[in-house]
Amino acid sequence: MQSLLDRFLKYVRIDTQSAVQSGTHPSTPGQLELARLLEKELWQLGFSKVSLSDKGYLMAEIPANTDKNIPTVGFIAHLDTSPEVTGKNVQPQVFADYDGGDLMLNQAINLTLKVRDFPELSHYQGQTIITSDGTTLLGADNKAGIAIIITALAGILAQNNFEHGRLAVAFTPDEEIGHGADYFDVAAFGADFAYTVDGGALGELEYETFNAALAQLDIKGCNVHPGSAYMRMKNANLLAMELNAMLPPQERPEYTRDYEGFYHLTNLQGNVEAAQMTYIIRNHDRGRFESKKAFLKSCVDFLNSKYGPKTVSLHMQDQYYNMKEKIDPVYHIVTLAELAMLKEGVTPLIKPVRGGTDGARLSYMGLPCPNIFTGGHNFHSRFEFISLESMHAAVRVITRIVQMLAVSDPKSTGEPPRC
């Protein structure tokens, strides 16, 4: 596990936080810095056809070492970290042989990772836990995925007697801001199917995501002196509050779970003259997703009928769709990962993603792409942590997937059919 740990600690120290408003691709220069480091590392390890595009997409492959007709499987992770918490000057901390209690992250700012607040922490007693120093996020999302993929495939390269088909790998920019698949060349990647290694706790295996839309609202008010405002003023701030109050409060993220969708107000700013609101709309069910969008539009229409045409302008666009629709016809790739986990002593936890992955868009681009765990918790947070043992389990699962695909007669061993 030492090479896995060393890689991970090296990667997280590079600031790759993406930026929504940058207007470039990748959105930040640190992502290219990490990509260039990985490009060099892949060449040194013996990967073939290593290429880095000007958009920040790093691809490579390991050629097949057999004449068998084995499908090409790909493994994908993203370079960037969340814009929600800084990724600058990450100082990882390694807690070996964790004792099961609270972890002091930073005494200077009195920040403690408490079992009371994060009870799942206690499940890792005796393992090696990695955190930041509490002033930044850690970056396990998704540098753990990068370290896992490289460690697994480097291990396969090092074994001369390990039979395998063609293996493809890609590291993408700007997943956290929804642009990870914008310039992904599916044809050049050349995989029959792939797995994003971007999940959370040990055993997570996901092939369902939200359907997702972004809604931006511009509200025009009318500002006059409050002393002479009678029947003349339209306060854009109050109109924004009125619109938000029309949406069902039980359909906010903090009150939903499992397959329940939501409206999430992510940005609100304004004054009497003008206000801007941004919502993300999410639902696993396509019909309910469309109903949510239609309801928001009806709220806008109502306010415009009440306060005058074009008082509220709505700009809404779909972001991605539930990849279940594209995975169901090739469900055996989920079964393959599930069986690989079982063979490695990992209990599969098949659950819907309450979010999205690059795999959602890639699945609609012709590359079916379920999601595999990395072992991390509390992503996008100063309280992010990951177990080294869980990361190593993901390395073993990837290795097992590749091994199982090379079985000459899958039916005789109980393996799933090939893609």
Does residue 191 have a pLDDT over 50? yes
Instruction: Let me know: does 153 contact 73? Beta carbons within 8 Å.
Output: no
The whole-number pLDDT of residue 366 equals 97
pLDDT digits (tens, 9 = 90+) for 357-394: 899 999 999 999 999 999 999 999 999 999 999 999 99
Smallest CA-to-CA distance from 81 within 323, 384, 371, 360 is with 384
pLDDT, mean of residues 238-243: 98
Does residue 253 have a pLDDT over 50? yes
Does residue 417 have a pLDDT over 60? no
The amino acid at residue 68 is K
The amino acid at residue 358 is D
The whole-number pLDDT of residue 178 equals 87
Smallest CA-to-CA distance from 242 within 187, 307, 332 is with 307
β-bridge partners, 51: 59
pLDDT, mean of residues 193-197: 98
Q: Which residues, 6+ apart, have CB-to-CB distance to 108 below 8 Å?
A: none
Q: Read out DSSP for 202-265?
A: TTEEE----EEEEEEEEEE-B---GGG-TTT-B-HHHHHHHHHHHS-GGGSGGG--TT--EEEE
- Count of C-beta atoms within a 10 Å radius of residue 143: 31
Torsion angle in degrees (nearest 10) through CA of 316, 320, 321, 324: -170
pLDDT, mean of residues 388-405: 98
Which of 237-257 are b and which e, b meaning 16 or more Cβ less than 10 Å from the residue's Cβ? bebbebbbeebeeebebeebe
SS (H, E, C) 127-183: CCEEECCCCCCCCHHHHHHHHHHHHHHHHHHCCCCCCCCCEEEEEECCHHHCCCCCC
Smallest CA-to-CA distance from 119 within 383, 363, 381, 416 is with 383
The whole-number pLDDT of residue 1 equals 86
> Counting Cβ atoms within 10 Å, is residue 97 exposed (0-12), middle (13-18) or buried (19+)?
exposed
Does residue 419 have a pLDDT over 50? no
Does residue 413 have a pLDDT over 80? no
Percentage of residues of the chain with pLDDT beyond 70: 97
Residue ranges and CATH numbers for the domains of the chain are 2-208+323-413 (3.40.630.10), 211-320 (3.30.70.360)
- pLDDT band at residue 414, thresholds of 50, 70 and 90? very low
Beginning with the edge strand found earlier in the chain, give each strand of the sheet holding 167-172 in spatial order: 48-52, 58-62, 167-172, 73-78, 193-199, 371-373, 204-206, 349-350
SS percent in the chain: helix, strand, coil, step 5: 35, 25, 40
pLDDT digits (tens, 9 = 90+) for 29-69: 999 999 999 999 999 999 999 999 999 999 999 999 999 99
The whole-number pLDDT of residue 305 equals 98
The whole-number pLDDT of residue 418 equals 40
- pLDDT band at residue 20, thresholds of 50, 70 and 90? confident
Does residue 410 have a pLDDT over 80? no
The whole-number pLDDT of residue 95 equals 98
The whole-number pLDDT of residue 169 equals 98
The whole-number pLDDT of residue 303 equals 98
User: What is the rounded CA–CA span in Å between residue 3 and residue 127?
Assistant: 17
- Can you say whether the dihedral through the CA atoms of 35, 39, 42, 47 is positive or negative? positive
Instruction: Let me know: does 89 contact 81? Beta carbons within 8 Å.
Output: no
Q: Which residues, 6+ apart, have CB-to-CB distance to 249 below 8 Å?
A: 255
Does residue 416 have a pLDDT over 60? no
Tokens 């995975």 belong to 327
Beginning with the edge strand found earlier in the chain, give each strand of the sheet holding 262-270 in spatial order: 262-270, 274-283, 211-220, 312-320
pLDDT digits (tens, 9 = 90+) for 317-362: 999 999 999 999 999 999 999 999 999 999 999 999 888 889 999 9
Does residue 412 have a pLDDT over 60? no
Q: Which residues are catalytic?
A: 80, 175
Instruction: Let me know: does 151 contact 8? Beta carbons within 8 Å.
Output: no
Average pLDDT over all residues of the chain:
95
The whole-number pLDDT of residue 407 equals 85
pLDDT, mean of residues 218-237: 94
State the angle between helix axes of 2-12 and 140-157 in degrees (0 to 180), rounded to the nearest 10: 140
pLDDT digits (tens, 9 = 90+) for 133-176: 999 999 999 999 999 999 999 999 999 899 999 999 999 999 99
Does residue 409 have a pLDDT over 60? no
Q: Is the pTM of this model over 0.95?
A: no
